[in-house]
Structure 1
């Protein structure tokens, strides 16, 4: 062989072996599974391989979404340059042109109509740094009170209930590794097997250890199949079910009297409420046999270690706050909190749904879970930010109420970062009308989402592979996601975009960061002494340690299990609250005889803007569907696999009917990952919980009909 041939062969071998290893985290659910993405290059061709890592709660597991997450980041439809709408079409412009447009539009509107004429709408997938900065941007950069985020539709019921009961809102009061220690577990309105599948082994291990698992859900799911007992409750009647269980527990003296006396307050009011409960009436309200309610209550109260997990099924209701409070009453009445294998958990939905609500992008909050209405809290943050306290705006309104204010013309411009409200907002018809009425809509996103199509300006943001920052998982564990690749095109990170906009608005002095870690270090100080105290957490610690909040000092490991000795309320006691038997605000009728409930499927996430652009995920579920009991379908002239309309008093959606003999005959189920005529939120109920402003996604009255009547000759 000649030397030139050998040299050529070596070059070919080197080309074939080029590989880039990228350590990252899944961008989707609150488990935040870690993984390696291997990019293998042979000439101009690239192949990708995903390997799970074992350093997070998932213990080296990945679901189908995590294994294919990289596909949407590489999709040809990614926005790579600022895009301005001109004569109804998006055209590329420079960053300076885009920033000037924002300055001109926002400044003109605020000068004429006041600072609150511009609103800010965030997302639960932003990093902690970007969620913190978005709140600061709204209140310092724009001086507007109108900021909220899509987590309002996710965690607000559980967050407000935990704050009221415990004095602290953190998704789980225990680490997931304690789940196998539980002897009884209630899974209420949570479909972990499909929404957080990498957590399922914890529950299987608990079952192997002898735990009795109870699932509460109007329909059968992969999670209810794991359970030993499935309570197929009527939609919206979960709080009444818990009242029935409490009635049995208190009447049979199965409650933990010592725990109640020493560690709670409000029990006498609960006892008085429960004394008037009639079990037969509860059975009628819930659609469950009285004997089943009694058996469930005795089973839960007869063990020494039990856990309750809730999720959107019981929380996305117009009385979601009370429903969660009643499940917490159940936990407190039996003394099942603050010890190994015993506690309460609200299974966080979005990737950073926990951290996203702690540091200031909610209408009523400042960083560290401080209250924007507390003078001491306001002074602390104002001093840190270098502004007079009086210049800090007051409390704003919830996400859906912002849509109403837009529709009324009070909010005239909106800055959206990391969210797709046209798909995620209930009564989506109103949301569409509202967004179209805006004088200026700026959307920061990776793709032209359904909301983005209505924008006047689109700004390209970075993906999970490119954006460094911290996220907080469902346990309250803070993780550090490293940037694995550089940004394509003219894409910028969300935090950079906020700094750029602040600069052209004349607020550069307040936003002079050069990297994400700079923002995190300010966040640490902003959270210091607050309920969500991150002060002791640093990037360097996160590289090697497992750290939970609260973490007040750098020598502190954080608290994996909360409330072992005291609760976070001023007197150190948890507060019990009597809950009446609520019925859904919207009832079925002759015109709308069926209940509708919504949820996820395993292969998609939230509005589907990202997962529908992953070929491997989209192929698994290419369209929406309507789960309907065959008897119900026959009564309405619907054949399996045919297209149907679902109507409510608010609007109509269309999807393919799918027979399911495991669902209640009075209930339909539709996933929420699709837009257009398949958008289930065209029909969902916009009524809000009076405490937390959670819309009633999970219960509304509808009718169903075939698109083509196949029964006619």
Structure 2
């Protein structure tokens, strides 16, 4: 028997091979690193995932990272171009696919003008791909219409940061400073489920005696670590901060020296806060006066403090002003620009930070330059080798692009790295618009809900195959290496863009042989801009493991902590403004008596196109659900674990109920990771923040009723 086992083991070793891939997670903005080991034994493979040390998550991985490889290896991956013929997708060659694109794009622009073509990008692409997509839109297509799904992630915080500080970077401090902060406010962020590998920083802060304040309508895994949970009414965050500021002023907890030397706008803010009535704030926010006072006094008296915001605050029709009011709170107490004090906008997408810095947004050019600034336009035109007058002007935001599609001002659309049918608010309207297009191209790994509607699908590479840089929530640029070959006829995003540009007669502007070539041009394009990457190179990233921007020269270490001496405005001062109490665009009424808010669950990412194809992740949450308070459920005769029709003015979905006392009685919650009949964005409100154009995902009015089977008589 022993001889037989030895024989089989010997045979196994003869056919077994092992491939070790060093990579990083493709999902959230932490960008944890890992080692993926593929062991090939006869005709099957076994995969082992080991976390790797890194400065951000310190060698931790969450369940998504541990299982990320499953979607990249999934049998449903698109492996070759597919053209829709008579309503069905058929395999075609790359030459045929590119020929069709040239024919259709040329025809559309001849008939409808250059701006009839729109480009819709994503916040999970590498910096190189994001940069190239912006260049592709403006040079190869000569269209003003480009935007991306990051508009739905960080635009409120980005706009606020730029106006207040003169710069937008996710965190103004290093993550390693969190344990040193004496008081931390977590506003509208569920880090425990969305960025779980960061939680040890906050747990360590608690061990060090930090007081943590959570602001959220729901009780979550994040609020459970808090010393104080302010269960605010959805959409009332800005008003709540006015209450906090009222107490700070009344108790004399401001920092006069910091305010005088490093800020402007204080007198106007002080005058506004004098009009605030604390009892009124308590009434409209649903947060008791005693809790408002407790939070304000604790934060005001703390020697250091940090504030983190995320989608709960930002995805509102006043998200920009809500963030600005939180920044007012930091500034009047002087809690920024020093160890353990600062602001953090917790980025949602893997490259939400870098994706918006280098040209995917309608109003921006590489390096965070602005497209309507003549000096900025001239610089980028020179880098690209074009005349400044040939550079298109400012376009519109992501959802506004969908409106132009619906109005048939945009008649052709190129989608890369996004799933707008599921991610946009008022999704039925978006779907109706896409059906009107003359030609829709979708570049994706899978046949997503948007790709199903495409005329042509182009197969793209996964994180295991496509090398490039990513910028995490700290503003730390990292190099994601890739050693796996592309399967089938799959190509990288950058290769696809270069080949289309060549056919359109613009090949001279897209002659790259590898991602590093693109990055070196990005470095030059960003040089001297707000997001200056010039001093960052692949060589340095490999050697140093990541570098913060701004990094203006090859010998610059990168700035881990911003604003130690001055802010990024020409006068060096941060700007405060009064923020008036704001009510959500859509209020509850007799017909729609409940507030709906949306969010994420730990096992899934964005619209779920990738994570729903990971067996291990899909098994954790196989379908969407409706969180509803037991008293509310009783009122509407909804049983636990039953199918519920949730309806707004825009449409309806069907989800399964989950009764929980961890949510406000006037509020229900549905996650965003599913499409079709469970797509929560079929019912969310399309109203936009007037400044940053962020949709108000987090608040709309709905009604909930048990699903009635109309076939039963």
Q: Same fold (TM over 0.5)?
A: yes
CA distance in 2, matches of 1:355, 1:33: 16
Deviation at 1:115?
Answer: 0.3
Q: Is the 8 A contact 2:466 2:492 kept in 1?
A: yes
In the alignment, the residues of structure 2 paired with residue 410 and residue 708 of structure 1 have an alpha-carbon distance, to the nearest angstrom, of 40
Residue of structure 2 in register with 1:695 after alignment: 695
Q: Report deviation, 1:251.
A: 1.4
After superposition, the Cα gap between the structure-2 partners of 1:10 and 1:248, relative to the gap in structure 1 and judged at 3 Å, is: closer
Determine the C-alpha separation between the residues in 2 that align with 1:303 and 1:287.
Answer: 25
Match of 2:563 in 1: 563
Give the Cα–Cα distance (whole angstroms) in 2 for the partners of residues 248 and 138 of structure 1: 50
Alignment partner, residue 85 of structure 1? 84
Distance in 1 separating the partners of 2:328 and 2:561: 19
Cα distance in 1 for partners of 2:533, 2:667 equals: 44
Partner of 2:683: 683
Structure 2 matches for 1:379-394, cutoff 5 A? 379-394=378-393
- Residue 342 (structure 1) aligns with: 341
Summarize the alignment of residues 13-24 of structure 1 with structure 2, pairs less than 5 Å apart.
13-15=12-14, 17-24=16-23
Report the CA distance between 1:484 and its aligned residue. Answer: 2.3
Q: Which residue of 1 aligns with 2:499?
A: 500
SS of equivalent to 1:626: strand
Contact kept? 1:629, 1:662, Cα under 8 Å: yes
* TM-score (norm: length of structure 1): 0.98
Report whether the alignment pairs 1:221 with 2:220: yes
Asked if the contact 2:469–2:478 (Cα under 8 Å) also holds between the matched residues in 1, the reply is yes
1:137-536 matches, within 5 Å, as: 137-536=136-535
Does the 8 Å CA contact 1:637/1:709 hold for their aligned counterparts? no
Matched-pair contact (CA < 8 Å) for 2:306–2:341: yes
What are the residue-to-residue correspondences of 1:653-664 with 2, within 5 Å? Answer: 653-664=653-664
CA-to-aligned-CA distance 1:467-513 (integer Å, 9 cap, x gap) = 00000000000000011201000000000000011011010000000
**310-319 or 540-549: bigger deviation:** 540-549
1:104 paired residue number? 103
**For the Cα contact (< 8 Å) 1:265–1:575, is it kept in 2?**
yes
Deviation, structure 1 residue 304: 1.2
Distance 1:14 1:410, change over 3 A: same
d(CA) in 2 for partners of 1:410, 1:607: 27
Q: Which position in structure 1 is the counterpart of 2:45?
A: 46
Q: Displacement, 1:567?
A: 0.4
* Contact kept? 2:600, 2:673, Cα under 8 Å: yes
Change (3 A) 1:101 1:197: same
| Distance in 1 separating the partners of 2:31 and 2:155 | 20
CA distance in 2: counterparts of 1:526 and 1:57, whole angstroms? 27
Task: Say if 2:187 and 2:307, in contact at 8 Å, map to a contact too.
Answer: yes
Counterpart CA distance in 1 for 2:440 and 2:298 is 54
In structure 2, what is the Cα distance between the partners aligned to 1:211 and 1:414?
50
Q: Distance in 1 between matches of 2:353 and 2:5?
A: 57
Q: Distance in 1 between matches of 2:53 and 2:118?
A: 41
Alignment check: 8 A CA contact 2:12 2:41 kept: no
Match for residue 633 of structure 1?
A: 633
Which segments of 5 or more consecutive residues in structure 1 lack a partner in the other structure? Answer: none
Deviation at 1:44, TM superposition (A): 1.2
Q: Which moved more, 1:338-347 or 1:7-16?
A: 7-16
Contact 2:12 2:42 in 1 (8 A): no
Alignment RMSD: 1.4
Q: Residue by residue, what CA displacement relative to the aligned partner does 1:152-180 show, whole Å, maximum 9, x if unpaired?
A: 00000000000000000000000100000
TM superposition shift of 1:112: 1.4
| Partner Cα separation in structure 2 for residue 662 and residue 620 of structure 1 | 20
Is the 2:414–2:442 Cα contact (8 Å) retained in structure 1? yes
Cα deviation 1:318-359 (Å, max 9, x = unaligned): 000000000000000100000000000000000000000000
2-side partners of 1:461 and 1:662: how far apart?
41
Contact 1:33 1:56 in 2 (8 A): no
Match of 2:67 in 1: 68
Rounded to whole Å, the distance in 2 between the matches of 1:290 and 1:373 is: 46
Distance 1:701 1:663 in 2: 16
In 1, the alpha carbon distance for the partners of 2:136 and 2:208 equals 50
